[in-house]
Chains A and B, each alone.
Chain A
Amino acid sequence: MAAVQETIDRVKSIDVSEYKYGFFSEIESEKAPKGLNEDIVRFISAKKNEPEWLTEWRLEAYRRWLTMQEPRWARVAYEPIPYQELYYYAAPKTAAGPKSLDEVDPELLKVYEKLGIPLNERAILAGVEGAAEASSRVAVDAVFDSVSVITTFKEELAKAGVIFCSISEAVRTHPELVRKYLGSVVPPTDNFFATLNSAVFSDGSFVYVPPGVRCPMELSTYFRINEKNTGQFERTLIIADKGAYVSYLEGCTAPKRDENQLHAAVVELIALDDAEIKYSTVQNWYPGDAAGKGGVYNFVTKRGDCRGANSKISWTQVETGSAITWKYPSCILRGDNSRGEFYSIAISNGHQQVDSGTKMIHLGKNTTSRVISKGIAAGASQNTYRGQVSSHRKATGARNFTNCDSLLIGNDCGAHTVPYIEAHNHSTQFEHEATTSKISEDQLFYCMQRGLDAEEATALIVNGFVRDVLQQLPMEFAVEAQKLIAVSLEGSVG
């Protein structure tokens, strides 16, 4: 209730069509030479002091990538990406492995302060005194261009046995875990963008929760692209060992630029027996300007493997940014009785193009999955839900429920639903529901008659439309997401 009011206030207080995270920070950086070849791959690997097996792993992926074709099946259109014109590595000069917050470049801390991301543990602690429950705090891993600049609350997490650090650090400190699980869900050969990522991945988070441990706080990573013409190749690996539980959230922003920026991420989740991973994304990359110029190309491969029996993986995403979104967080339901969930809010405005959805691959017996997708298209945008649900011959008792609702605002946008459903055994039960509706003039007039202006009314109606999904987000982020929804719909009503 208060959140709706906040949404409304936020809409009011920000200029229409103003992307508030669009600032660029003057931070001296060290870059790899422009373009991509084997030397660049070696350069990145060397920068990170990686062991030889990983350098070889990258090179193999790079060679494979050279033989691959960029996928064209998604309902998105864009000019060819000049891969040789991009920088594949950029790091703030001062960021080389700070041990504590005192060593972090104050300029960098200022950037995160401006973004509203608290990196100062003491300040966070001070802020929650009185309500000093561990669960109300959030540990943050901050990734700036290609490197992780700081991870907070590490010591406290270590007490619980939880490993939370950048993946570069994990390669050095926990090589056995990285080697065992890296590429085990999304193999380096998986698809064009995942293969590119495998060759040049920069940084991202690594999480390991040991058997039987419930992670004592929310974990989150905050991704920021700052440098010009720089691709960001996030790589995140999360492992919940037997009976473990972890909730993880990522947030993303980038400066306003006329050029398109590439973000090709790979996220792998592994849940062993009785483990649960909850992964939430609030994606607000720069969407481009009103004429459709600039913006981030968000080409992301996210996949979770319910490897153990009774395991559970749940994806929740709020996608409001990016010029193009190509993203299908999926679950492989391998363990018997495992469960996959996908909750999505995808909003497109202006000239944004979204092609997003999920895959639920039922392999184990009595596996269940649930898909709730809310697509909202405004302006001249195109919004596609693409989802695959399949059950293997041996996946007896597999069940899926899918619900895709699309909401159109205005007359120049499009919403599309493309489901692929394959059942390979007789005991499978798959349900699919889809609706498409418009915000009706009657609803708008009704709200306005009661005192809300056109934008407040739209924000209220849309927040109602996405309510089922918002409720899946961790409390701390639900309010943030609600604000973001209102902001990203600005200028969508005449």
Chain B
Amino acid sequence: MLDVRNLSVSIGDREILKDFNLTVADGEVAAIMGPNGSGKSTLSYVIAGKPDYEVTSGEVLLDGENILDLSPDERAARGVFLAFQYPVEIPGVTTMTFLKATLNAIRKQRGEPELSIPDFMKRVNAAAAKLDIKSDLLKRAVNVGFSGGEKKRMDIFQMAFLEPRFAILDETDSGLDIDALRIVADGVNALRTKGRSFLVITHYQRLLEYIVPDKVHVMAGGRIVRSGGKELALELEKNGYRDYVEAEVA
């Protein structure tokens, strides 16, 4: 599914990702853990196509196609989804309006016809049920006046609605209380299929108790420094990131 090869990325003079390599197989849930400033969020933004990052070398292949020259919306049409660490507010635009505009834009890029209103509503309701979203919330402006946790949940709801092929969850657990965390995790788990992969970025092992990963990668200093199975997360929980940070400094 996703193949990141020898990726180096800078902002200004600062190199953040250094010859970074990562492979995520079809249907795989890969977790990336690491201390603050290790480049986790940069990785998610570069895959999604945020401007301001300079890719100095390397490729990001999605199903064999290098997507680095594509605009963010073209990547979205190919099935890339980023659940934001800080979802953005769009005053005056209801979530319902937003969902319809995004879905139709994606369908148009793919050469598919617009969804009929009843089909659209079915899809909205199905996704809302998964994330336990009340319908009056959909009539409010996108993320405006929502708590941090509500925003995160709405973003995962958008993911469930758009049904992407490759989804990145950037620190989705931060700001969620335990009940919301469970709802979000259930929503994600319900979307796990052979044809859909996830990259779950998190500080803490807690989220991974609910979304059990196939692989865990430890990131420090702009690189992956260790990879393993789900048990690696538990080890990190016990020992912290100190060893990796010290190794990086040395």
- A448–B72 CB distance below 8 A: yes
Query: For residue A448, which residues in chain B have a CB less than 8 angstroms away from its CB?
Result: 49, 71-73, 76
Measured CB to CB, the closest approach of chain B to A249, in angstroms, equals 23
- A445-B72, A453-B71, A466-B92 known; A460+B101 contact, CB < 8 A: yes
Query: For residue B105, which residues in chain A have a CB less than 8 angstroms away from its CB?
Result: 8, 450-453, 456
- A26-59 vs B, CB cutoff 8 Å, 1 = contact: the mask equals 0000000000000000000000000000000000
- A463–B84 CB distance below 8 A: no
- A463–B93 CB distance below 8 A: yes
Query: For residue B51, which residues in chain A have a CB less than 8 angstroms away from its CB?
Result: 441, 445
- A446–B87 CB distance below 8 A: yes
- B82–A449 CB distance below 8 A: yes
Query: For residue A468, which residues in chain B have a CB less than 8 angstroms away from its CB?
Result: 92
Query: For residue B130, which residues in chain A have a CB less than 8 angstroms away from its CB?
Result: none
- B97–A1 CB distance below 8 A: yes
Query: For residue A478, which residues in chain B have a CB less than 8 angstroms away from its CB?
Result: none
Among B76, B94, B103, find the residue whose CB has the most chain A CB atoms closer than 10 A: B76
User: Does B206 count as interface, using CB distance less than 8 angstroms?
Assistant: no
- For A459, give the chain B residue with the smallest CB separation: B101
Measured CB to CB, the closest approach of chain B to A302, in angstroms, equals 27
- A465–B91 CB distance below 8 A: yes
User: Does A461 count as interface, using CB distance less than 8 angstroms?
Assistant: yes
- A8–B73 CB distance below 8 A: no
Query: For residue A465, which residues in chain B have a CB less than 8 angstroms away from its CB?
Result: 91-92
Query: For residue B94, which residues in chain A have a CB less than 8 angstroms away from its CB?
Result: 1
State in angstroms the CA–CA spacing of A466 and B91 once bound together: 10
- For A464, give the chain B residue with the smallest CB separation: B92
Query: For residue A463, which residues in chain B have a CB less than 8 angstroms away from its CB?
Result: 92-93
User: Does B123 count as interface, using CB distance less than 8 angstroms?
Assistant: no
User: Does B162 count as interface, using CB distance less than 8 angstroms?
Assistant: yes
Neighbour of B109 across the interface among A4, A440, A451, CB < 8 A = A451
User: Does A442 count as interface, using CB distance less than 8 angstroms?
Assistant: yes
Measured CB to CB, the closest approach of chain B to A325, in angstroms, equals 23
Query: For residue B49, which residues in chain A have a CB less than 8 angstroms away from its CB?
Result: 448-449
State in angstroms the CA–CA spacing of A452 and B104 once bound together: 9
State in angstroms the CA–CA spacing of A337 and B66 once bound together: 67
Neighbour of A5 across the interface among B77, B80, B114, CB < 8 A = B114
Measured CB to CB, the closest approach of chain A to B163, in angstroms, equals 12
Query: For residue B101, which residues in chain A have a CB less than 8 angstroms away from its CB?
Result: 4-5, 8, 452, 456, 460
- A8-B101, A451-B103, A452-B105 known; A461+B90 contact, CB < 8 A: yes
Interface residues of B in 136-165 (CB under 8 A from A): 141, 158, 162
User: Does B48 count as interface, using CB distance less than 8 angstroms?
Assistant: yes
- B58-102 vs A, CB cutoff 8 Å, 1 = contact: the mask equals 000000000000011101110011101001111111101110111
Query: For residue B200, which residues in chain A have a CB less than 8 angstroms away from its CB?
Result: none
- B90–A447 CB distance below 8 A: yes
Measured CB to CB, the closest approach of chain B to A322, in angstroms, equals 25
Measured CB to CB, the closest approach of chain A to B107, in angstroms, equals 9
User: Does A443 count as interface, using CB distance less than 8 angstroms?
Assistant: yes
User: Does B122 count as interface, using CB distance less than 8 angstroms?
Assistant: no
User: Does B50 count as interface, using CB distance less than 8 angstroms?
Assistant: yes
User: Does A172 count as interface, using CB distance less than 8 angstroms?
Assistant: no
- For B100, give the chain A residue with the smallest CB separation: A1
State in angstroms the CA–CA spacing of A261 and B189 once bound together: 63
Measured CB to CB, the closest approach of chain A to B191, in angstroms, equals 16
User: Does A467 count as interface, using CB distance less than 8 angstroms?
Assistant: yes
- A451–B102 CB distance below 8 A: yes
Neighbour of A464 across the interface among B91, B96, B158, CB < 8 A = B91
Query: For residue B93, which residues in chain A have a CB less than 8 angstroms away from its CB?
Result: 4, 460-461, 463-464, 467
Query: For residue B104, which residues in chain A have a CB less than 8 angstroms away from its CB?
Result: 5, 8
Neighbour of B88 across the interface among A446, A451, A456, CB < 8 A = A446
- For B48, give the chain A residue with the smallest CB separation: A449
Interface residues of B in 24-72 (CB under 8 A from A): 48-52, 71-72
- For B89, give the chain A residue with the smallest CB separation: A443
State in angstroms the CA–CA spacing of A285 and B31 once bound together: 56
Measured CB to CB, the closest approach of chain B to A38, in angstroms, equals 53
User: Does B106 count as interface, using CB distance less than 8 angstroms?
Assistant: yes
Among A4, A449, A463, A466, find the residue whose CB has the most chain B CB atoms closer than 10 A: A449
- For B86, give the chain A residue with the smallest CB separation: A442
- For A8, give the chain B residue with the smallest CB separation: B101
State in angstroms the CA–CA spacing of A442 and B89 once bound together: 9
State in angstroms the CA–CA spacing of A456 and B92 once bound together: 15
State in angstroms the CA–CA spacing of A5 and B93 once bound together: 12
State in angstroms the CA–CA spacing of A442 and B90 once bound together: 10
- B90–A453 CB distance below 8 A: no
State in angstroms the CA–CA spacing of A464 and B141 once bound together: 9
State in angstroms the CA–CA spacing of A441 and B88 once bound together: 10
State in angstroms the CA–CA spacing of A445 and B93 once bound together: 16
- B92–A443 CB distance below 8 A: no
- B90–A4 CB distance below 8 A: no
Query: For residue A453, which residues in chain B have a CB less than 8 angstroms away from its CB?
Result: 71, 73, 105
Measured CB to CB, the closest approach of chain B to A180, in angstroms, equals 43
- B100–A442 CB distance below 8 A: no
State in angstroms the CA–CA spacing of A454 and B49 once bound together: 13
State in angstroms the CA–CA spacing of A466 and B73 once bound together: 24
State in angstroms the CA–CA spacing of A447 and B96 once bound together: 14
State in angstroms the CA–CA spacing of A182 and B103 once bound together: 54
Measured CB to CB, the closest approach of chain A to B58, in angstroms, equals 21
Among B77, B87, B104, find the residue whose CB has the most chain A CB atoms closer than 10 A: B104
- A467–B92 CB distance below 8 A: yes
- A446–B141 CB distance below 8 A: no
Interface residues of B in 104-118 (CB under 8 A from A): 104-106, 109, 114
State in angstroms the CA–CA spacing of A54 and B141 once bound together: 54
- A5–B90 CB distance below 8 A: no
Query: For residue B158, which residues in chain A have a CB less than 8 angstroms away from its CB?
Result: 450
Q: Which residues of A line the B interface, CB within 8 A?
A: 1, 4-5, 8, 440-443, 445-454, 456-457, 460-461, 463-468
6 contacts between A and B (CB under 8 A): A5-B104, A448-B72, A449-B49, A449-B81, A450-B105, A451-B109
Known A1-B97, A451-B106; 15 more pairs at CB < 8 Å: A1-B100, A4-B93, A5-B100, A441-B52, A445-B88, A447-B90, A448-B73, A450-B81, A450-B98, A450-B102, A451-B76, A456-B73, A457-B73, A460-B98, A464-B93
Q: Which residues of B line the A interface, CB within 8 A?
A: 48-52, 71-73, 75-77, 80-82, 84, 87-94, 96-98, 100-106, 109, 114, 141, 158, 162
